[in-house]
Amino acid sequence: MTLATSRPAKNLTPSYFHVLAKPTGAVCNLDCKYCFYLTKESLYPDSDFRMADDLLELYITQLLESRTEPLVTIAWQGGEPTLMGLDFFRRGVELAEERKKPGQTIEHTIQTNGTRLDDEWCEFFRQKRFLVGLSVDGPRHLHNAYRVDKGGKGTFDQVMRGWELLRKHEVEFNILCTVHAANVDHPLEVYRFFRDELKAEFIQIIPIVERVNADIVQIESVGGTRLGEPRSLYQQSGNQVTDRTVNPEKLGQFLIEIFDEWVRRDIGTVYVQMFDTTLGAHVGQYGVCVFSPTCGDAVALEHNGDLYSCDHYVEPDFKLGNIREQHIADMVSSDRQRKFGNDKQTTLPRFCRECDVRFACNGGCPKDRFATTPDGERGLNYLCGGYMKFFQHVDKPMRFMASRLKMGCAPSDIMQWYAAEDNKWRTAAAKAGRNETCPCGSGRKAKHCHAALTRLTSSANGLN
């Protein structure tokens, strides 16, 4: 076997691509019930699930020599990447410093469940300026619903110990929150917990959609490893979902309620990826593959060097090759991978192509496109109803913020606009009566809309 240590043979590498490297593969110390990646262990039945030192060196070398932009991100995920041990990441940082090109700056990120962090880990993260993504699904009773250990016990306390250590060592962190059947009815409880209790400044919201075939939906709804027995390999097939899967309409309402609080008081202090992405779409910029017109520039690297088209498509049909045999840049720029990415756009059903919010949604992630359009065409995103509800709700404030950006002004100016609007509608709502429909046009009762905003608006902005 020839090691692919030379530079890429083709000069067709995308201007930007992102690699999620999984040094332990699917191996994790937890057994989260909705985790699709745990089943990927079955792809490598005889593996020790540890990235070899020479492969680490090869990966970093290929990544850095492929990149032309000054800032290069080296991102680690899993499974649980901290199972590799701290020395592995020390070597990774050293290799990156040795192999980086003149003018390159390296940014290191890691996604972790936080349960294995200690002072040594967190001091290393601080010194090397890692951005740490911490997986938390909300307060204890919501987090523990599905994020459990191998014994089925909730992990909230262990995760909070990890968070405390990150704070103690002043490590930059963000929160990754999955939205599912257990927490979707508690949007403000979840958001305020992150903002007020965890002091989070960056929040990423990921909807859980567990797509399964009808014949196994009951089995897969159990989740985890079911008394130590491995689940069958999770693949993107079927048109049914598990009980844990988020309801589309409820997802839309979850996002709306958080947005309505965020836009009134937290712009510029709390960054919610979904909201930033939507604002980007309103000015013609796309930074997240889910809502970009095309995809294919975010690939997944397994522990043995296998490269897959996407983190959600780690399955045999989407394996691009192995970096020991082909350069990573050649695989990313291959006709096969370009087709994978372009199919996101070319396979949109007519319902999506003619949709008013297509510019913001672009059909969502292909993995979730297994529903049927109103006119019977396959390929509609399962979450369409929720996304459409959200994008329509935020259209006016997003257009306001986009116009401010184009003028070189701060989008946070909208908070003053909301304060004035809320004053107007709050007065009108008081005259209408708490149980009557709010005159603002939301369709909600006044007591659940502007009649309830007095305390929120006053405390949030100090503008009244």
Which are the catalytic amino acids? Answer: 311
CA nearest to 129, candidates 102, 161, 160, 89:
89
Amino acid identity of 118? D
Distance between CA atoms of 92 and 55, rounded to whole angstroms?
11
Angle between helices 414-432 and 395-406 (to 10 degrees): 150
CA nearest to 278, candidates 206, 179, 361:
361
CB 93 within 8 A of CB 62: no
The CA-based dihedral angle spanning residues 230, 232, 236, 238, taken in that order and rounded to the nearest 10 degrees: -130
CB 291 within 8 A of CB 220: no
Distance between CA atoms of 98 and 86, rounded to whole angstroms?
19
Distance between CA atoms of 307 and 310, rounded to whole angstroms?
9
Distance between CA atoms of 285 and 259, rounded to whole angstroms?
20
Quick count: other Cβ atoms within 10 Å of Cβ 85? Answer: 13
